[in-house]
């Protein structure tokens, strides 16, 4: 999947930056440039026995801002990796949702989810085996002369962070600003919310100093797992709620869907990733 990310550019930031309720202050581009699909060869994990007939059509992804020579996309985020036990549970739920909403695709890879659901190992590896992101700021364009200043200030403000746990407590539906995509996401509503909110405030302060648009007023930290074209938030929300009710029947109520340790903060500028802070396992 590292090869996929390297080849397909800055796609990992798209899902997080697009999947928040619309309140964008960025001007709409006059021309929306569709991004090409990734090579199908990169969807085959190494050492995987067997294959699926994965077919990728032309994606409908559009840039949040027009490409300008000398501009680089900036994205500040917390990297999130899902543990193996959690992958199995999430995969089971996604299969149920996909059966009722066949237009769902895997975030970033843009493969139809119902195709992956035919093989559990493929589903876990491709749909849930990648690195996810909790965005701490909007994905915005910056000029080359701003890069060193932004990265330096991020490290200065955020390099000292304590260890904490992030709990993903809630399945939620988000729609991008342009209402061209609907996302199936996992939201942080309790454990880790206070710490992440403070980190977002720090990033906002740095964005403001560089005349960059700040994050949404009421941020809702989350990771996005799947997307569907258009705004189908109402119907997809009903599907999620109904499937959740089925999951809890006769079972003890779980406090969260899955948890992970906060491991640090990264900043991606164009194709280059900078470590803002790193939390060791022993800290």
Active site residues: 133, 222
3-state SS assignment for residue 237: helix
| Residues 213 and 26: beta-carbon distance below 8 Å | yes
Look up residue 112 and give its DSSP letter.
B
Side-chain half-sphere of 109: how many Cα atoms within 13 Å? Answer: 32
Counted residue by residue, the chain has a size of 283
Residues ≥6 apart with Cβ < 8 Å to 233? 173, 174, 175, 182
Beta strands in the chain (DSSP E): 71-80, 105-106, 132-135, 140-143, 165-168, 170-175, 181-187, 222-229, 258-261, 264-269, 272-278
The residue behind tokens 């189908």 is 232
3-state SS assignment for residue 71: strand
């Amino acid at each position: 999947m590292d090869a996929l990310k390297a080849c397909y550019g800055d796609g990992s930031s798209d899902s997080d930056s697009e999947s928040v309720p619309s309140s964008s202050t960025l001007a709409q581009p006059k021309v929306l440039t569709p991004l090409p699909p990734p090579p199908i060869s990169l969807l085959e994990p190494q050492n995987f026995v067997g294959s699926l007939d994965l077919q990728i059509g032309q994606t409908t992804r559009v840039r949040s801002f027009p490409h300008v020579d000398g501009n680089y996309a900036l994205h500040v985020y917390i990297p999130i990796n899902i543990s193996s036990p959690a992958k199995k549970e999430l995969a089971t739920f996604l299969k149920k949702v996909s059966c009722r909403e066949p237009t769902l695709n895997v975030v970033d890879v843009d493969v139809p989810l119902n195709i992956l659901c035919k093989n559990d190992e493929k589903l876990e590896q491709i749909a849930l085996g990648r690195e996810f992101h909790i965005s701490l700021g909007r994905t915005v364009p910056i000029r080359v002369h701003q890069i060193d200043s932004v990265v330096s200030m991020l490290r200065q403000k955020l390099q000292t962070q304590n260890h904490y746990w992030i709990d993903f407590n809630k399945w939620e539906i988000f729609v991008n600003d342009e209402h061209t995509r609907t996302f199936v996401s996992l939201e942080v509503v309790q454990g880790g919310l206070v710490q992440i909110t403070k980190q977002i405030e720090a990033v906002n302060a740095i964005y403001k100093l560089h005349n960059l648009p700040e994050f949404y007023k009421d941020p809702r930290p989350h990771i996005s797992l799947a997307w569907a074209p258009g705004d189908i938030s109402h119907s997809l929300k009903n599907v999620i709620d109904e499937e959740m009710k089925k999951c809890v029947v006769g079972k003890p109520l779980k406090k969260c869907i899955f948890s992970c340790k906060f491991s640090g903060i990264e900043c991606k500028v164009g194709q280059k990733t900078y470590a803002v802070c790193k939390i060791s396992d022993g800290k």
